[in-house]
Amino acid sequence: MILVLNAGSSSIKFALFDTKDEAMPEVLSGMAEAIGGASRLRVDGEAKDLPMIDHRAALTAILAALDTRGITPKTLRAAAHRVVHGGRKLTAPVRLTPEARAEIAACSPLAPLHNPHNLSAIETLAELAPDLAQFASFDTSFHATNPDVATRYAIPKMMETKGIRRYGFHGLSYASLVRRLPEVSGEKLPSRLLAFHLGNGASLCAIRNGQSVATTMGYSPLDGLTMGTRSGGIDANAVLRLVEENGLDRTKAILNHESGLLGLSGGKSDMRNLMLDPSADSAFAVEHFVYWTLRHAGSLIAAMEGVDAIAFTGGIGENAVGVRAGILRGLEWLGVRMNPDMNHRNGPRLHAEKSEVALWVIPAEEERMIARDACALMEPVAA
């Protein structure tokens, strides 16, 4: 079995996958949440208040909970981590050597809200279970195939060499989608696939022959679509004015945590709540989300010189019937024809018989993708 860990600033999500089965089913999952505060450990839906002052305490609690179920580091094949940023060098899954850890640390300035916590979990687990092999998969690596014209900002080269470029994110979700779509559809992967990862964080990806050629997020996950609390694309001079008026730290908080659907609606960031709320502000927030998703979709379709299939994933993409319908209505000029009944059932197939573009809903399986990545790097041994 492989333990997958996703460490955030105040939480650690975990899932256990059975590697004896080719489908790699999830055995259990859970989360240590509110680390450093009113912390709680959830395992398969059961919650227990538990003091966890830091990530080390949280990992210790997770390992103890697994131990009560007969799962110890000695019975695991490996631990595998989600790491947000791999920079230019870490463009594929890796076994975590001292050199790989150092490179993850070197990428921390590019993802200061994520990589340090990812690295903390890696280093802490190395102390708690020194004989357990560890691996990492990166959210940025799927987009390493983007051409230079897609990743380079039009700034002086000396700035670009410091890492200021477009990277793209949600790569593990897109990699999982590329793997799963042929299994769900029973057909080969479409040559030109437009993928929508829509959730609290949201992005689009143009996938040509299985490889990312363009995506909406850039240097950070702030760019691109309207999101739950992130502004999405905003003019750099508008950002500079916000900094002048509010200071740097306050501006960071505004753009990352107080904007997007939350800012537009006046207090709601969850799409489910917005769709149920009859207020004009909530309706406008949903309209804004759909409009800018369509604006970016046109750009990515142009990057692929057309589109053969569209796939939705993520919490909104998989469940928001009205949002999907609004987006697909806006793409009817492509020959898109949605089957309303299939859309209300959340797919997996959405397209009507006369549609010129195939339409799918594919559940996100990022954790399973991380486990598969680790397995692919390991020697074939008994689980």
213, 195 Cβ separation under 8 angstroms: no
Distance CA 118, CA 6 (A): 7
CA 139, chain centre distance (Å): 7
Alpha helix stretches (DSSP H) within 193-247: 236-246
Active site (annotated) includes residue 131:
no
Tokens found for residue 76: 């695991």
Amino acid identity, position 6: N
**Distance from the Cα of residue 383 to its chain's centroid:** 28
Q: How many CA atoms are closer than 13 Å to the CA of 144, on its beta-carbon side?
A: 16
> How far is C-alpha 53 from the geometric centre of its chain's CA atoms?
27
> How far apart (Å, rounded) are the C-alpha atoms in residues 216 and 142?
13
Asked if residues 284 and 334 have their Cβ atoms less than 8 Å apart, the reply is no
Q: Can you tell me the distance from the alpha carbon of 12 to that of 62, in angstroms, rounded to the nearest whole number?
A: 9
The separation between the first and the last C-alpha atoms of the chain, rounded to the nearest angstrom, is 6
Given 139, 281, 341, 373, the catalytic residue: 139
Here the tokens at position 383 are: 């689980």
- 48 in Cβ contact with 124 (< 8 Å): no
Q: Which residues are catalytic?
A: 139
